[in-house]
Structure formats: structure tokens, C-alpha cells
Amino acid sequence: MATRPTTQFGTERTGICIMSIASEMRGILPTANLQRLLDALSAKGYRIIGPTAHDGSVVWETVRSVSDLPIGWRDQQEPGRYRLEQTASQEVFGVVHGPQSLKPFVFAPREPLLQIERTKDGFAPRQMIPQLEKVAVIGARACDLAGLTVQDRIFLNDAYRDPYYAARREGLFVIAVNCVRALSTCFCASMETGPRAKTGFDLALTEVDDRLLIEAGSEAGFDLLSDLSLSPAPQKLLDEAATRVDACGHSQVRRLERSRLPQALYDAHEHPRWDDVAGCCLACTNCTMVCPTCFCHAAEETPDLDHQQTAHVRLWDSCFTQEHGYIHGKNIRPTIKDRYRMWLTHKLASWIDQFGMSGCVGCGRCITWCPVGIDLTEELSALLVPASRSSVTSQQVEGP
Amino acid sequence: MDAEADSMANPYVIYPATIVGKIREAEDINTYRLRFVDEQARRQFRFKAGQFNMVYLFGVGEVAISIVSDPDEPALLDHTIRAVGRITKAIADLRTGDVLGIRGPFGQGWPLEEARGRNMVIVTGGLGCAPVVGAIEYILRRRTQYGSVTILHGVKTPQDLLYRERFDAWRRFPDTEVLLTSDQPDKSWSYHIGVVTELFELVSIDPPKSIVLMCGPEIMMRLGVPILIRRGIPATAIYVSLERHMECGIGLCGHCQMGPYFLCKDGPVMRYDRVAQWLGRTGV
């Protein structure tokens, strides 16, 4: 009997809860039939967005057919290096991620806030709240969901609720993919954000050879699952899926030592390591642009040529820019050292004081997309060693 | 959907306000008296001393400016603006009758209601210091509700002394002391010589009764507060107004961070003990 298991939703689900999911909340779809899922989403009015191979990386694009997805491709990521490789497999979700997280779908890189018209009384602002659009994103990873949770906390559950973010968020349907392969840059296991999608998804897929295990994580996801009338998942497949996801977590080679945060990083403010990293950092802003949680933005005013209309727009900004710390007459953070320290201290330490959670979800994008391969896990390890012992290598510090 | 209620929920909406008065304070400083065009905005707007508004100029942009007028008269809003940047320089060209925009009020102001009955020690340094001018006016208009008032103000050169008439007027209130000092004086200077923290030696302060309000360069706070603490004033009775770049006013744009705080939301006025460890840290 397909009773709606509404009580399962709305609270954070733990691993134990997942084990007890009623059998009708999950099913098996042969990968060859994945198009049925896309068609069911289209039938419900969703625009489907998925990973597509593009110019040597994977980017989110509208997908209509399974063949739009990067079948057989895998990504190799290392500090400062991203490569797509074609394999002989028919894996659909072999690419872990590209530079984009879910952030651009909710916190738009460029968001017109107001369109303001000159009037005889002065001016009249029109709110540019985005029209509700049903968007289904297929292929989000656990780290991306964790990033979305962080952004929800900032834009929806702080002193002010951001209506632009809220409008985009409302229409978002997320189909997560549990990771069965870790990149060299991944450290979600140490952040306890992955590799299994725990919360915040509508559907979650685990690709096991030529089959997809599909689980519902929300009422909307459950509805969609019911429409597909899938065959039930045999216990053996559930076990195999769990084993592969667990193995992915265990295979991660990087970890972030967060037990003494935030204070340990506040205490490291004068550490000489900041000079070392500043000597490499180009202040290019890549790390902040690919970060699933970075939220800094700037306001821009773009008047029409006749000055009768003007758009009040917000744009992604970065704490690595010269302007970010500027107040009249002085710059609070004039050097790259100041800015790298600001970024890392905010991300890993003051974020915890501000929002009750880390600003890092362990996706590793900032490591991959840094043109000089700066690795924040390595920087933190070095910073946690008192300055007098800074000659100790990071490997020794990390321990077993 | 009630469009009006909807717009009140959007913290980004800007409300037009007419300039009904412009007072020249100095060559590049003006005080603008603003009145909302929209009657409902006029009725609903309430603020506390020390809060700020995002002041907007059509087609140019927004800038965070503290409100210096009295919170009991919220229909008229005074903003003292120094022409230092792209937006404030454009605002300087405006005249009475022109229209600016207002979004606000934002931030945490001075603890003036909590401070009733206490002795007020107000320490300022540098140019203008508009945020504290509003607080002084607030206190002196309610003179009987406060204990003694001590105003200590330091400038670099005599030319930097603004509001000379106001200092003279404040001096005439009962039980109110005003001390001015310059550390680069010329022959015309008839007040004290030195930096503002040296004035602490010249006034009597009753530590358990006093509340200190400070506004000015961070170095003044960093050097001055420890002296006050040594004189027995608890760090929890000292309030500082801090300055960082503010673009959104609602704690979202990230620019105004100081350690774990967003000064637009948690400040700009902060109790000293909460920010002591961040003041003077390079790059924070």
C-alpha cells in the first residue's frame, strides 16, 4: 500500500533513517531506462538541468535526453588540474563534478534586484523577483547539497530573508547522485557532508553497474517515484550500493582537521604560513567563484543612456579583490596575505560563529580550480602547528 | 497578494525621499534633511539613535550613512554626508527639492535608553564623526534623564575641527563638560594640545556610574580603551562605533565583516568586550 510517508520528511534524516525507508520509497531503474525519469520530470513541468561535457569540463546545461549526459566520461582532479577522460564504460554519472555547484541556481551570479524608473516624484522601483520556474537538477553531489544547506541558512534563515533567493529555491527539485568514486581533491568524509546524500534532496540515485537505485527524499520526490512504478530494490543491491558509497568515503586521501576550529585558526593569525601561501596566491578569485557556499556580493547600478531607467543589480563578489575591504581613504586588506587569511579564516572559523556551521563542505573545488594548486587542507594543517614548529611537514602533522 | 505587504518584506526596496533642507557643515560636508515621498513609509519608519540608512542616488548607487536626527521625530531624517567617494560626491551636487532614496534603518545603535541615569563620557576623534553627534544631541535634549556629560574631542589640526558652534552650544548645558584638543595646533588654537586620550587625565570619571561612547579611528580606541579600563571602567560599559564597507545593510554582502561580526547587522555600535580581540588585528 502506497501510503504517503510524510512523517519521513521535514527533519534531517540520519543514516539510520535511510536504512528504515519503506520499500515503496525506493526502486530500481535499469540505467538503459533513465530516459523514463527525465520524461517523468518533463511531464511534471520541470526544466531538467544536468552535467554536460563542454570545453574540457562539465557544466550544467538543460538536458532533454540521456545522451546529453556525459556517458562514459570521468573527471580527474588534482590541485590546479582538471581533466575529462573518456572511458569504455557506459557510466552516466562517472564525472563527479565540474566547477559549478548548485549555488548559481539559487544565488544567481547576476541578480537584478530593482528596476527603477524616473518619475515626476523622483523615482519608482519595481521589484525584480524571479518568476517561479520549476527546475530539476540531476547529478548534484552530497557536497553540493551540503552547500545548499549552508546557503539556505544564510539567505533564508538569518536576520533578513532574501526574496530573490527564496523564489529561485522554491522551484528547485534536486536529484542527487551518491558518490561511488572519490577524487584526489575530495574530503567530504572528514567534513561529514558526504559521500552519501543525507538530506535536502528530492531523489537520490546510486549508480551500480548498469542499474540505478533511486530513493525519495521528499514528498515531491516520492510522487515522482510513484509515477515511475519501479521494481523494488533487492537487498543485495542495496547492500552493494551502500558498500560502494562507504568505500568511496574511505578512499578519500584528503581530510580537514576541524576539531579545534574556530579558535585554533583565530589563534594562528600571526602565523608565518600566511606569508608562504600569499607568495603563491594570485588573488584570482577562482576559489570563491567555485565555492558552493561563498556568498559575498556587490551592488551595481546600470542606468540606461537616457538616464530614465536604471537597474539595481547584485553580482557575485570576492574577498580576494582589491575593492572588497576598501573604505574611504584606506583598504582594510591591502595585501594578498590579508585577503587569503580573511578567506580561510572566514570559511573555516568565523563562519561557525556566524552561522553555526562550517563554510566548507569538502567538495575540493577550490583546490582543483586554483591555478597554482593551493590546498586549503594542507594550509590548515600547517597553520595548526605552532609557528616555532612550522618546519614540520604537513604529512607528519596529519598523522594516521 | 498584497503588493504593499510584499514590498515591506523585501529588504532591498528603496523608498524615495525628498531633500527638504541642506545645511553646509564644512566645505565637503553637508547635512541633508529628508522626508519620504510615500506617506505610508513616512508613518511606518522608526529608528534608534546610531542606526544607519542606505542612502541612494538614482542611477548612481547606495551608500551607508548614519541617521543623526532624533528618533522621536522619524518623519524627518537627517544625514550628514561627507563627499569622499563616487556616490557621496554626486550627492553633494543635490539641492533642496531633489530626491534621494532610503532603505533602512539598519544596524545596532547606541545604548542610550539603557544608559539613562548614567554619566556619559563621549570620546571622538578625527573629522566629523556624525554617528556620535546624533547621540550627543539625543542626550542633551533629554538632559535631566542623564548624569554628567563629558565630551572629549580630538583633531589633528585646527582646520579639522567641525561643528565648532555645536561644541560651544553643548558646553552651555548644565553639568556638561566639553574638552577639545589638537595634536598639530597652530597659533589660533586656544584649547588643549595633544591627542584625545591625554584628555582622560583632565576629567574626573566615576567608573561604576559611567558609560563611554567612542567614535573615531580604530587606533584611538585601541590606545584609549585600555586607559579607561585601567581607570576602573568595565569593558562592558564601553561602546565603540566601527566602520567597514557596507553595501547591503542586511548582513549578506560580506564586506563589513570584522572577525565573526557583520558590522552592518551586529554593529556599527559594538560593546567593547565583544570586539576587543579583533580591534587592531591586521586585515580583520
ipTM above threshold 0.95? no
CB A136 within 8 A of CB A173: yes
pLDDT at residue A388 greater than cutoff 50: yes
Three-state SS at B188: coil
Residue A235 shares a structural domain with residue A328: no
My answer on whether B125 and B88 are in the same domain is no
Encode pLDDT of A61-77 as tens digits: 999 999 999 999 999 99
Could you tell me if A66 and A41 lie in one domain? yes
- Are residues A273 and A239 located together in one domain of the fold? no
Q: Which of A123, A269, A298 sits opposite B101 (nearest CB)?
A: A123
Q: Which of B154, B152, B93 is nearest to B120 (CA)?
A: B152
Q: Identify whether B226 is part of a domain.
A: yes
Question: Is residue A234 in some structural domain?
Answer: yes
Q: What is the pLDDT along chain B (284 residues), one digit of tens a residue?
A: 334 444 448 999 999 999 999 999 888 999 999 999 999 999 999 999 999 999 999 999 999 999 999 999 999 999 999 999 999 999 999 999 999 999 999 999 999 999 999 999 999 998 757 889 999 999 999 999 999 999 999 999 998 888 888 899 999 999 999 999 999 999 999 999 999 999 999 999 999 999 999 999 988 999 999 999 999 999 999 999 999 999 999 999 999 999 999 999 999 999 999 999 999 899 99
Q: Measuring CA to CA, how many Å separate A237 from each of A37, A79, A194, B253?
A: 20, 35, 20, 46
B14–A114 CB contact, under 8 Å: yes
Using a 10 angstrom Cβ sphere, with 0-12 exposed, 13-18 middle and 19 or more buried, the burial of residue B28 is: middle
Determine the structural domain holding residue B93 and report its residue range. Answer: 7-106
Given this model, what pLDDT does residue A397 score?
Answer: 41
pLDDT value of position A387: 81
Q: Which residue in B19, B34, B82, B252 has the most chain A C-beta atoms within 10 A of its own C-beta, making it the best mutation to test that interface?
A: B252
- A190 and A323 part of one domain: no
The residues, any chain, with a CB within 8 Å of residue B16's CB and separated by 6 or more, are A121, A122, A123, A124, B36, B37, B38, B99, B100, B101, B102
Q: Do B252 and A301 touch (CB under 8 A)?
A: no
Q: Into how many domains does chain A fold? A: 2
- Co-location of A36 and A151 in the same domain: yes
* Residue B92 shares a structural domain with residue B161: no
Query: Considering the domain boundaries, does residue B41 fall inside one?
Result: yes
User: Beta partners for B124?
Assistant: B153, B215
**Start-end of H helices in chain A:** 15-19, 34-43, 103-106, 142-156, 163-170, 188-191, 219-228, 235-250, 263-267, 273-280, 286-290, 336-345, 351-355, 365-368, 376-383, 394-398
Q: What is the pLDDT of residue A23?
A: 57
Q: Are B124 and B153 in contact (CB under 8 A)?
A: yes
Considering the domain boundaries, does residue A177 fall inside one? Answer: yes
End of a domain among B73, B106, B139?
Answer: B106
- The predicted pLDDT at position A24 comes to 66
How many CB atoms neighbour CB B43 within 10 A? 11
Residue B30: CATH number of its domain: 2.40.30.10
Contact: A342, B283; criterion CB under 8 Å: yes
| B151 and B260 belong to one structural domain | yes
B217 touching A (Cβ < 8 Å) = no
User: How many domains, in total, are found in chain B?
Assistant: 2
Mark whether A55 and A134 lie in a shared domain.
Answer: yes
Is residue A292 included in any domain, yes or no?
A: yes
> Do both B102 and B151 map to the same domain?
no
CA angle in degrees (0–180, nearest 5) for A56-A60-A64 = 110
- Please give the distance of CA A285 from its chain centroid, rounded to a whole number: 17
**Is residue A148 situated within a structural domain?**
yes
First-to-final CA distance of chain B: 44
Nearest Cβ partner for B12 among A113, A159, A298: A113
Any residues with CB less than 8 A from the CB of B52 and at least 6 apart, and which? Answer: B64, B65, B66, B67, B104, B105, B106, B107, B131, B246, B249, B264, B268
Q: What is the DSSP letter of A87?
A: -
Which of B79, B106, B133 is a domain's end point?
B106
Q: What is the CATH number of the domain that holds A198?
A: 3.40.640
Residue A136: its H or E element? strand A135-140
Same domain, A149 and A211: yes
Residue among B14, B59, B252 minimizing CB distance to A162: B252
Whether A81 has a pLDDT exceeding 50, the answer reads yes
> Among the three residues B83, B106, B129, which one is the final residue of a domain in this structure?
B106
Q: What is the pLDDT of residue A111?
A: 98
pLDDT tens per residue across span A47-62? 999 999 999 999 999 9
Same domain, B141 and B67: no
Asked if A160's CB is within 8 angstroms of B13's CB, the reply is: no
Looking at the fold, whether B231 and B98 belong to one and the same domain comes out as no
B 1-30 residues inside an 8 A Cβ radius of A: 6-7, 9-14, 16, 18
- Provide the b/e sequence for A281-297 (b: ≥16 CB within 10 Å): bebebbbbbbbbbbbbb
Residue among A153, A281, A312 with most chain B CBs within 10 A, to mutate = A312
SS3 (DSSP) at A224:
helix
For B30, the grid coordinates are: 553637508
Q: What is the mean pLDDT of chain A?
A: 92
**Model confidence band, residue A9 (pLDDT cutoffs 50, 70, 90):** very low
Which one of B13, B254, B265 has the shortest CB-CB distance to A295? Answer: B254
Same domain, B167 and B214: yes
Tell me, yes or no, whether B188 and B244 share the same domain: yes
- State residue B126's pLDDT score: 81
What pLDDT is attached to residue A22?
55
Q: Does residue A18 contact residue A11 with C-beta atoms inside 8 Å?
A: no
CA angle B157, B23, B167 (to 5 degrees): 45
CB neighbour list of residue A115: distance below 8 Å, 6 or more residues apart: A125, A126, A128, A309, A310, A311, A312
- Give yes or no for residue A274 having a pLDDT over 50: yes
Percent residues over pLDDT 90 in chain A: 88
What three-state secondary structure class fits A50? strand
Q: Which residue has the higher pLDDT, B130 or A337?
A: A337
Q: Are both B183 and B242 inside the same structural domain?
A: yes
Q: Specify whether A206 is located in the same domain as A163.
A: yes
User: Under an 8 A CB cutoff, do A342 and B284 touch?
Assistant: yes
Same-domain status, A154 and A216 = yes
- CATH number of residue B172's parent domain: 3.40.50.80
Q: Examine the domain organization and report whether A137 and A40 are in the same domain.
A: yes
Q: What is the pLDDT of residue A216?
A: 96
Same domain, A64 and A202: yes
Mean pLDDT within A251-265: 96
- Asked whether residue B176 falls in the same domain as residue B233, the answer is yes
Answer whether B252 sits within 8 Å of A353, measured CB to CB. Answer: no
Select from B251, B271, B68 the least CA-distant residue to A158: B251
pLDDT at position A229 is 87
- C-beta of residue A181 within 8 angstroms of C-beta of residue A75: no
Determine, yes or no, domain membership for A329: yes
Confidence check: pLDDT of A399 > 50: no
A326 domain-assigned: yes
- Contact of A340 with A383, CB cutoff 8 Å: no
Alpha-carbon distance of A339 to A359, in angstroms, equals 16
Question: Same structural domain for residues A293 and A232?
Answer: no
The 3-state DSSP class for residue B20 equals: strand
Interface check B209 vs A, CB under 8 A: no
pLDDT in tens, A192-229: 999 999 999 999 999 999 999 999 999 999 999 999 98
For residue A159, tell me if it sits in a domain: yes
SS3 A269: coil
- A12 to chain B nearest CA, in Å? 25
Looking at the fold, whether B130 and B245 belong to one and the same domain comes out as: yes
**What is the extent of the structural domain holding A375?**
263-299+317-398
- B70 and B123, same structural domain? no
